[in-house]
Amino acid sequence: MNLELSEEQAAVRQLASDFVAREIAPHVIAWDRAEEVDRSLVKKLGEVGFLGLTVDEEYGGSGGDHLAYCLVTEELGRGDSSVRGIVSVSLGLVAKTIAARGSEEQKRRWLPGLTSGELVGCFGLTEPGTGSDAGQLATRAVRDGGDYVINGTKTFITNGTWADVVLLFARSTDAPGHKGVSAFLVPTGTPGLTRRTIHGKLGLRGQATAELVLEDVRVPASAMLAAEGKGFSVAMAALAKGRMSVAAGCVGIARAALDAAVKYAGEREQFGRTIAHHQLVQELISDIAVDVDAARLLTWRVADLIDRGQPFAVESSKAKLFASEAAVRAANNALQVFGGYGYIDEYPAGKLLRDARVMTLYEGTSQIQKLVIGRALTGVSAF
Ligand code: FAD
C-alpha cells in the first residue's frame, strides 16, 4: 500500500480543505442551531465535483479513485459532519449504487442530476420495526400490470425531506427473509409518498432526517434496480462501501478535535502557564493524535483494496468500527481539554462529540460490525 498521495489526490484534498474554509466553517454553528444546512450548498458541492467522485464522466461524474473520495470525505467531516453525511448518502449510497447496479436508462435519468447537485438522493432501508435486522423489512411492493404498488414506512432517512429520489428497499416476493427484498428508485414527488422531518436529534442537526410514509405509491416496473429479490445484496454492497465513507468522516471529526485541542491548550493558562504544559493535558492530546492516525490508516486500506479490485467488506467494517469509536473518544478528550468551555456550543468540542456519537449507530451499529468481523474470522454467523 502506497501512503504517498499522487499529485491529483493532493490537489483534490487541498480543494476540499479550501472549500471547507470558505463555504462551511463560517456557518457551522448557525446551521447546527437552526437545525438546517443551507440547501444551496448542495449545488456548490456539485460544482466542485465532490458529488461525482468515482462516478464516470460519461454520466456527469468527476472520476477519481476511492482514496480521493476518502480525502474529500475526511475534509468535509472535519468541517461539518452534517455536510459530510449529505454527500455520503446522495453520492456514496445512492449515486454510486445506481452507477454500479443501475440499468442504462436509470443511469442516464438520475446520475447527471445527482452528481451535479441538481438532485439529492436518499437511502430508504430502515423501518420502525427493522433496524439492524434489515432483511426482515416489512414495506411491500405488489406487482400490478406493468407497475409496482408500494406500501410501508421508512424512518431515520438522511436527506429524507430534501431528496428527489429514494433508493427504496421493499419486499416484492414471498421468498423468506432478505431473499424477497428488491430495490426501487422512487421519485419523491410520486403521489402517496409523504415525508416528515424528525427533530430533536443529538447531533447531525443540520441534516434533514425524515420519516417516509408510502401509501399506494405506484412506480413502473422499470423503477426496479437490479433483479427482483436482489435488493438486500444491493443494500449490503452499498453499505460495505458506505462504511468506508463513514470511517473517513470520523477521521475528519477526530482531526478537528485534535486541531481544536492543540490550539486551545496553547492559549489557555492555568497554574501560571498554558495548559499545554500539563502532562495530563498532553496525554489527552496524544491519545487523540494516535486515534486520528490509526483510524485514517484503516480507512485508506479499504480505499486501496477497492481501487485494486480486492475484497474489502470486512476491512470496511473494521475501519468503521474503529474510526467511529475513535471519533467519540477523540471528541470527548477534546472536550476535556476545553474544560467548561467545551460544554458550550461557541466552542467546537461539544458538537464534534454529538456528531460523532451517531457514527457508532448507523450503517450498522458497532455490535453489528463485530458480528460481520466475527463471522469472517470464525466462519460462524452469529446474526
Ligand atoms: P436496533 O437494531 O433496534 O438495535 C438496538 C441495539 O441492539 C443496538 O445496540 C444494536 O447494536 C443491538 N443489536 C441489535 N441486534 C443485535 C445482535 N444481533 N447482536 C448484538 N446486538 C444487537 N437508515 C437508513 O436506511 N437510511 C438512512 O439514511 C439512515 N440515516 C440515519 C441517520 C440517523 C441520524 C440515525 C440515528 C439513523 C439512521 N439510519 C438510516 C438508521 C440506522 O441505520 C439504524 O438506526 C441502525 O441500523 C440501528 O437500527 P435501530 O436504530 O433500529 O437499532
| Per-residue confidence (pLDDT) for residue 323, from 0 to 100 | 99
**Segment 306-334 mean pLDDT:** 98
- Nearest residue by C-alpha to atom 33 in ligand 1: 156
Q: Which atom of ligand 1 is nearest to the CA of 365?
A: 11
| Cβ atoms within 10 Å of 128's Cβ, excluding its own | 12
| 362 Cα–ligand 1 center, Å | 6
In a mutational test of the pocket of ligand 1, which residue from 365, 367, 373, 383 has the highest number of ligand atoms less than 8 Å from its CB? 365
Q: Say if CB 315 and CB 305 are below 8 A apart.
A: yes
Q: Which atom of ligand 1 is nearest to the CA of 366?
A: 11
Q: How far apart are CA 245 and CA 182, in angstroms?
A: 24
Reduce the DSSP state of residue 147 to 3 states and report it: strand
- Give every CB contact of residue 336 below 8 A, 6+ residues apart in sequence: 284, 342
Q: What is the pLDDT of residues 18-61, one digit of tens each?
A: 999 999 999 999 999 999 999 999 999 999 999 999 999 999 99
**Segment 65-76 mean pLDDT:** 98
Per-residue pLDDT band for 270 (boundaries 50, 70, 90) equals very high
Name the residue with cell 499529485.
7
Asked whether 365 lines ligand 1 (CB < 6 A), one says yes
Asked whether 90 lines ligand 1 (CB < 6 A), one says no
Q: Which atom of ligand 1 is nearest to the CA of 93?
A: 28
pTM of the predicted model as reported, rounded to 2 decimal places: 0.98
Strands (E), 40-106: none
β-pairing verdict for 193-197 and 140-144? unpaired
Q: What is the pLDDT of residues 41-50, one digit of tens each?
A: 999 999 999 9
- Give every CB contact of residue 206 below 8 A, 6+ residues apart in sequence: 31, 32, 34, 35, 36, 37, 80, 82, 83
